[in-house]
Every structure is written in structure tokens, then in C-alpha cells.
Amino acid sequence: MTGTANFYFAYGSNMDAKQVKHRGLAVTDRFRGVLRGHRLVFNKRAKNQPGVAHANVEPCADAWVEGALYTLAHAGAIEAMDSFEGYPQRYQRKILAIETDRGVHEAWVYVANPVVIEAGLAPTAEYLSRLLAGKDLLSPAYFDCLKEVEVAPVSGALPHEG
């Protein structure tokens, strides 16, 4: 991937700051970000979990996605997330404009590759809980919509990539 960005926008399980720290992403700040012209979908097939989805974003003119914008500690910091996100096989990295209270920033955003997109999937309750962990950065309406997402009928905590 060519290009550089000093920010990483998380809209899925990496909204959970504890998970990001555990994964070793070197960041200096975390704050609210909004990706306009996209919507959040759960259509990325989870690895080794039939019927289970992970978060993805897809273009949609009248929609937006809320999430966590991380300031990267250095230019190559994003590479720490690649193995967790299944880059480049399962997700691609794009640089997209993220709106914040501090202005618009170009940020790395993981977008699912078409070969892993599937209809009729749902996230596990455990996976969804990691999105809900971003409550401090989400509008009340967006958080309420996330709480209403139907979860997959899978029990127990399962390993996952983003």
C-alpha cells in the first residue's frame, strides 16, 4: 500500500482501547471520529467461524460511521494491526477523510476485501461488546443503534481478527 497517514480510524472491535493496547498499536491519543459517506455493516466473514461477521464499512451517500480515531506514534505504527486485521488478504487499508472536533484528518481505515464479504452474517455478542466499549466516543443515538444489532447464536468468547 502506498501513502501514509498519521491516524487510524477504528469502527469495529478496535474501538475498545484495551484491545488496541493489547495488540501493541503505538498511539498517542484516541478521540471521536466520523467517516461520512459510508455505513457500518456486519458482512465480513469471520475467519473459522461460520455464520459470524466482523464489522466493515461500505459506501452509502446519506450515512456515516462513528468510531475511534487514534493518533499513531510513528509512521509505521499501523503495521502492528495488519496481522490482527488479516491484511492484505481479508482487509485492505485505505486512507479516508475522518471528521473530528479538531478538523478533518486522513486516516488508515480497514475495508473488507470482496472475497470475504457475505450476506446473512451477524457478530457474536462478545465481538459486539468491543464496539460498545467505544461508548465514550459515540453519540447516544449511534450507541443505541449498536446495542440493537442482532448477534449470532454463538456462545462463549471466541478469538477474532478485526
pLDDT at 139: 98
Q: Write the CB contacts of 50 (distance below 8 Å, at least 6 apart in sequence).
A: none
Model pLDDT for residues 19-46, shown as the tens digit of each residue: 999 999 999 999 999 999 999 999 999 9
pLDDT at 153: 87
CATH code: domain 7-147 is: 3.10.490.10
Q: Write the CB contacts of 129 (distance below 8 Å, at least 6 apart in sequence).
A: none
pLDDT at 156: 47
pLDDT at 154: 58
% of the chain residues with pLDDT over 70: 93
Residues in the chain predicted with pLDDT less than 70, given as ranges, are 1-2, 154-162
Quote the Cα angle for 141-143-144, to 5°: 65
Provide the whole-model pTM. 0.93
Number of neighbours of residue 75 by Cβ within 10 angstroms: 10
